[in-house]
Structure 1
Amino acid sequence: MAHSLVNAGLTKTIVRATVSTKGKVSLSGHFHEGDYHPIVEVGFAGNRNSSPQQWGRWAKATVVKLQQTYHTKTFNMVGHSMGNMAIMYYLSANDRRLPRLRKQVDIAGHFNGILGVNDEPNRMKLTREGKPEKMQPEYQNLLSLRRTMPKDQIAVLNIYGDKDDGSHSDGSVSNASSKSLRYLVADRARSYQERRIIGVRAQHSRLHDNVQVDRLLIRFLRH
């Protein structure tokens, strides 16, 4: 996915940020002068940790490191699977001292549950504004974003997969769980849009290696 952005001419720079279980961030590579859209790939050493609050703290540690190292003023975030909850819990901390988030891309987000854990195919119901009839604790913890998310600042693109097999899911996350993001952010976001990817390559772990997703990402981040 990152290399698709390089190939599209958005950037020439990919830096790797590794976050230890204690929140120490190590950067591999450097930003280059004149490259205004460098990519930072973020990896959590404790990626089996199941706490979204912890993921949010690790995301914040990464943003702080970039701010200290490169005096970053604005940035975009792209998350897949658990990376989405890292973004959401980062936002819920509402730290105004940090750089301004401009664009947020959520791919295969399990905002209100995971199939086989606390959700089942075709079980979750949403209101027209995306509010789940039953909210998981992790989702309830994010309801404060409806008041605290920066107003008219962040453009949000929500991409989810539908295997087209009757489950209305990407095999791991129901479309309803992904679409429940709307209720949390749409009223505060600068813009909010959803895009559904259909077919075999819309399976959860294949969405970050999908040409359709790459095209959506390039178009959204280019401007």
Structure 2
Amino acid sequence: MRLVIPSGANDIVNQALKYGHDKRLPTLNKIVTIGGPFDGLTGFLSTQTEATVRRLDVKPSRFTKHFSEMLKYRHNFPDNVKLLNVYGDTNTGYNNDGFVGVASARSIRYLLRGKLAQYQEAFYSGEQAAHCALNQNPSVAHKMIAFLW
């Protein structure tokens, strides 16, 4: 099984897809993903409006090779996991955080549909929603703390 894309958000999901039922590993209860390019960087230069993108179904319109591979292993994902998916849009007209498209970040919901005990999305926009700024955004930190504790 090869599930590789360089991203912390993807790493934890890939780990759970590969080893989700391995009793030798700690039990996964909650995950926070921030700006995860789950369906790669497709849609990076999408010129649809933010409101349009957020209304769209979370099913990707085209699956990257990586996303298709993750779909094959979704049955391995552990039960009763709660997930907070944080993503952003810098409002530059391209529906992305500077690196990851909103649609790609939201595709995790489609990937893990019916597998999660709880799914939450937290959307941020503006300068503080840039990919490298999301993890330093105080609003994101408060949301994460509330979710985890």
The TM-score bracket by the shorter chain reads 0.7 to 0.9
CA apart distance, 1:147: 2.4
Question: What do residues 150-178 of structure 1 show as CA deviations (whole Å, max 9, x unaligned)?
Answer: 23x10000000111222111011110000
Task: Give the corresponding residue for 2:22.
Answer: 96
**Residue number among 44, 50, 65 corresponding to 1:120 in the alignment:** 44
Task: Give the corresponding residue for 2:88.
Answer: 161
CA apart distance, 1:205: 0.7
Aligned length, in residue pairs: 141
CA apart distance, 1:123: 6.8
CA apart distance, 1:91: 1.0
Question: What do residues 35-87 of structure 1 show as CA deviations (whole Å, max 9, x unaligned)?
Answer: xxxxxxxxxxxxxxxx85387xxxxxxxxxxxxxxxxxxxxxxxxxx101111
What letter matches 2:17 in structure 1? Answer: S
**8 A Cα contact 1:146 1:187, kept in partner:** no
Please tell me whether residue 200 in structure 1 is matched to residue 148 in structure 2. no
Task: Give the corresponding residue for 1:53.
Answer: 4
Task: Give the corresponding residue for 1:148.
Answer: 76
- Between Structure 1 and Structure 2, which shows a larger proportion of helix residues? 2
Q: TM-score, normalised to structure 2's length? A: 0.84
**Residue number among 124, 142, 146 corresponding to 1:215 in the alignment:** 142
**8 A Cα contact 2:47 2:94, kept in partner:** no
Query: What is the root-mean-square deviation of aligned Cα atoms in Å?
Result: 2.3
Q: Percent of aligned positions with the same letter in both sequences?
A: 30
Moved segments of 4+, more than 4 Å: 123-127
Task: Give the corresponding residue for 1:28.
Answer: none
Please tell me whether residue 189 in structure 1 is matched to residue 140 in structure 2. no
Q: Name the larger-Rg structure.
A: 1
Higher relative contact order, structure no. (Cα contacts within 8 Å, ≥ 6 residues apart): 2
Question: What residue ranges of structure 2 are gaps of 5+ in the alignment?
Answer: none
Question: What residue ranges of structure 1 are gaps of 5+ in the alignment?
Answer: 1-50, 56-81
